[in-house]
Amino acid sequence: MAVRLTTPLSEKEILKLRAGEIVYLSGVIYTARDLAHMKIIKEGAPFDPRGAVIYHSGPVVRKKENFEIVSAGPTTSARMNKYLDKILDMGVKGIIGKGGMQPESFRKYRAVYFAFTGGAGSLAAKSIRRVVEVYWLEELGIPEAVWVLDVKDFPLIVGIDAFGNSLYSNHR
Amino acid sequence: MEEAILEAIRLAVTKIPDDVVKSLQEAYKRENTPTAKFNLENILKAIEIGEKERIPVCQDTGTVTFFVEAGVRNPYLGMIKELINSALEKATREIPLRPNTINVLTNKNLGNLPIVHWELVNGDRIRIAILPKGGGSENCSALAMLTPAEGFEGVKRLVIEKVKECGGKPCPPIILGIGIGGSSDLALKLAKKALLRPLGERHKDGRIARFEEELLEEVNSLGIGPMGMGGKTTALDVKVEVVPRHPASFPVGVVFQCWAHRKAFLEISGSGEVRIWQ
């Protein structure tokens, strides 16, 4: 059964989700990868982190009159494990990425890890309605900047739920 | 000629080659869990969109790697390096590609700088293989200097251990390139070059062909599956290449490639005719 959710996410919504469930996510999400995470930890997030969803992605961007996201699949989330507790402690409730992360943190902070298919960037771009804003573009460059994206029905799968159940550990 | 190199880069990043698509379609049929189907369905949809709209299938358009077999009598040989640089710069703007080259000391984004491997050959033909290599899979690369006593059993252990360790990180179903022999640097280069062989094709030496098949079967029995979320298809293929070794050494290079196995080939004849294929 597919669930429809809109950001920001509440703890109540999060607790209903179970690993393996399909979720169609709408609303505003924020991209962040290695350098953006370092900067968020050091200087604070340039957005309100409470209930926010962070997308581990470095998009291909075309600039016409406005920025247009051409292709935007997820990057490997495990690189951001190091920052995960601090990010979730700020109130972030959802992470979108690929490959999975440490499940304990999601249980501890009552948050959810959503997986999108790595490499399917052209498909992910179809769920992105527009670029709302971009932070730190000049300093970090296109892949590492924080892109504020308005998404509609982004098809995701719950990879790790708020109870620490993980699709990634079952088969190891 | 710059235009031709740009078109070959465009072909590589927007169109997943037929051998890879066929193998992914077979994987879709074979898998029977909703999660594996979810991922493979997304993969096949993304491939279709990329080709139809001529946009990069994966946002990580990779470190664009060129293997050049340069015929020494080709009159354009002296221009090739500059042409690759300018074509890549233009491709970054026009396709567009993600600017993927970062200064190690300052973290400043430098656009896209190519990695070029040169090999001089006889004749007047230049053949260029283009391999845009994503970061997620590249991070799983491994080099091991095994002892000759460990031999092929050691190679198998190393590969299985690495594939397990990497799980979903390299975007499975993966393709594995394995280089055995030579030296540390050559083993890894061989491994990467092995990825250029068509999927499903077995090594012409029957012993290596059997080793490829054994490895493929063992990797797929791990259950890591598409995107590391479980399933029967962890690898689409395994390619092994060997060269002679030093008596004391048994170097093994392992290179992972993601399912978005982007590749394109380009040939420039002595008279300047250009042919592009995948």
Q: CATH no. for residue B117?
A: 3.30.360
Looking at the complex, does the CB of residue B34 fall below 8 Å from at least one CB of chain A? yes
Tell if the CB–CB gap between B59 and A118 is shorter than 8 Å.
no
Tell me which chain A residue has its CA closest to the CA of residue B44. A120
Looking at the complex, does the CB of residue A103 fall below 8 Å from at least one CB of chain B? no
Rounded Cα distance between A93 and A89, Å, is 9
CB A20 within 8 A of CB A63: no
pLDDT bracket for residue A70 (50, 70, 90): very high
Residue B177 domain-assigned (yes or no): yes
Give the rounded percent of residues in chain B with a pLDDT score beyond 90. Answer: 100
Q: How many CB atoms lie within 10 A of CB B14?
A: 23
Domain extent at residue B237: 136-257
pLDDT tens sequence across B75-120? 999 999 999 999 999 999 999 999 999 999 999 999 999 999 999 9
pLDDT bracket for residue A170 (50, 70, 90): low
ipTM above 0.90, yes or no: yes
The string of DSSP letters for B212-268 reads HHHHHHHHHTT---GGGSS-S-SEEEEEEEEEEE-TT-EEEEEEEE-SS---EEEEE
Task: From the options 3.20.130.10, 2.40.30.10, 3.40.50.10490, 3.40.50.720, give the CATH code of A2-160.
Answer: 3.20.130.10
Window B:91-110, CB contacts with A under 8 Å: 96-100, 102, 107-109
What is the reported pLDDT for A1?
62
Sequence spans of domains, chain A = 2-160
Write out the two tokens for A99.
Answer: 């490959």
**B192 and B88 within one domain:** no
**B236 and B128 within one domain:** no
Average pLDDT, integer, range A157-169 = 94
Is residue A87 scored above 60 in pLDDT?
Answer: yes
**With contacts defined as CB-CB under 8 Å, which chain B residues touch A72?**
59
Looking at the complex, does the CB of residue B259 fall below 8 Å from at least one CB of chain A? yes
pLDDT tens sequence across A17-56? 999 999 999 999 999 999 999 999 999 999 999 999 999 9
Write out the two tokens for B63.
Answer: 């470190």
Rounded Cα distance between B189 and B179, Å, is 7
**B130 and B147 within one domain:** no
The string of DSSP letters for A119-132 reads T-HHHHHTTEEEEE
